Amino acid sequence: MKLGEICKVLDIKCNCPDIEIRGINTLKEAKEGEISFFHNEKYKRHLLNTKATAVLIEEKYKDLLPNGVIALITDEPYLKLALLTKYFVKEPWEDGGYQVAKDSKIDPSVRIAKGVKIGKNVTIMPNVTIGPYVEIEEGCVIYPNVSIYRDTKLGKNVIIHSGSVIGSDGFGYAHTKNGEHIKIYHLGKVVIEDNVEIGANTTIDRAVFGETRIKKGSKIDNLVQIGHNCEIGENSILVSQVGLSGSSKLGRNVVMGGQSATAGHLEIADFVTIAARGGVTKDVKKPGVYSGFPLMPHKMWLKLQAILSRMLKK
């Protein structure tokens, strides 16, 4: 879209040059020809160094922009971003040519969209749907009724069990002053690296921008929810009913017990174990075993339970 057209559809006053905008991205990742947004002061360092062509921003912050970056002034930059995403979303389905290696076994009921690439020795069982430009490398096994949305990439020897959904939109909305919920269309993708196994009825959301990534060797149980832009480190284990909010970043060999969960935009260090029903609300910076809500070292949680038990007996 031309920048002037963007200003028109967003009802923003701007005497903008007739620049073509090719996409939307975060302040940190944006390149020339992309538009970004600023709505939270904790990202101020990214604002100061952004390479975006234009930024949706409040008047009071416009002087923080680097020279040459165009300020699109609005009182509601996040809401304007949400409204803009629908103009950049790609078609969810396109018919056309695709590539399948000769020795792969694809059930006749499988639906395959345009641009899909399926490698050697892949098995895809009945009623699987594969969206446009998905890449599936050799040795993968996909069980019945799996849905893989467009632009997803599967590495070698990935196993996906029945009913799982890979690449659906994350749960992202901006809110108007009247309380309406405006959908943020998710424009990123999902990348699943080699030797990952994904259980039945698990969902992995695509990124808003960039990617949601599951690193090699990780094992994900049934009924797990992984939000948009999450990163799961190598050889991690997520047990049934784990829920990861958007932009959670797990290090390598992290174990999360059943029904444990994270708040969004936090990091968990390498070799951390979160016990069942543990609630992670802030960064976990040191390896170890943690329990409870709010989260604490497991030994401390055991002592707390013992103290509470004694109090109840008095």
pLDDT digits over 63-101, tens only? 999 999 999 999 999 999 999 999 999 999 999 999 999
pLDDT tens for the chain, 314 residues long, are 999 999 999 999 988 778 999 999 999 999 999 999 999 998 999 999 999 999 999 999 999 999 999 999 999 999 999 999 999 999 999 999 999 999 999 999 999 999 999 999 999 999 999 999 999 999 999 999 999 999 999 999 999 999 999 999 999 999 999 999 999 999 999 999 999 999 999 999 999 999 999 999 999 999 999 999 999 999 999 999 999 999 999 999 999 999 999 999 999 999 999 999 999 999 999 999 999 999 999 999 999 999 999 998 87
Name, in order, each residue with C-beta under 8 angstroms of 192's C-beta and a sequence gap of 6 or more: 152, 153, 154, 155, 158, 166, 198, 204, 213, 214
Cα–Cα distance measured from residue 47 to residue 38, given in angstroms and rounded to the nearest whole number: 7
For residue 68, the model assigns a pLDDT of 94
Q: How many residues does the chain have?
A: 314
Whether the Cβ atoms of residue 145 and residue 165 lie closer than 8 Å to each other: no
User: Three-state SS for 53?
Assistant: coil
Structural domains in the chain? 3-85 (3.40.1390.10), 99-299 (2.160.10.10)
Name, in order, each residue with C-beta under 8 angstroms of 198's C-beta and a sequence gap of 6 or more: 158, 159, 160, 161, 164, 166, 192, 204, 214, 220
For residue 222, the model assigns a pLDDT of 98
- Residue 131 phi/psi, 5-degree rounding, is -75, 180
Cα–Cα distance measured from residue 115 to residue 80, given in angstroms and rounded to the nearest whole number: 32
User: Three-state SS for 296?
Assistant: strand
pTM confidence score: 0.96
Cα–Cα distance measured from residue 230 to residue 203, given in angstroms and rounded to the nearest whole number: 12
Smallest Cα–Cα separation from 202: which of 243, 260, 155, 230?
243
Place of tokens 């020809």: 33
For residue 197, the model assigns a pLDDT of 99
Catalytic-role residue among 175, 181, 228, 265 = 228
- Sheet containing 70-73: give its strands across: 23-24, 34-37, 54-57, 70-73
Whether the Cβ atoms of residue 10 and residue 84 lie closer than 8 Å to each other: yes
Q: Is 46 a catalytic residue?
A: no
pLDDT in tens, 194-226: 999 999 999 999 999 999 999 999 999 999 999
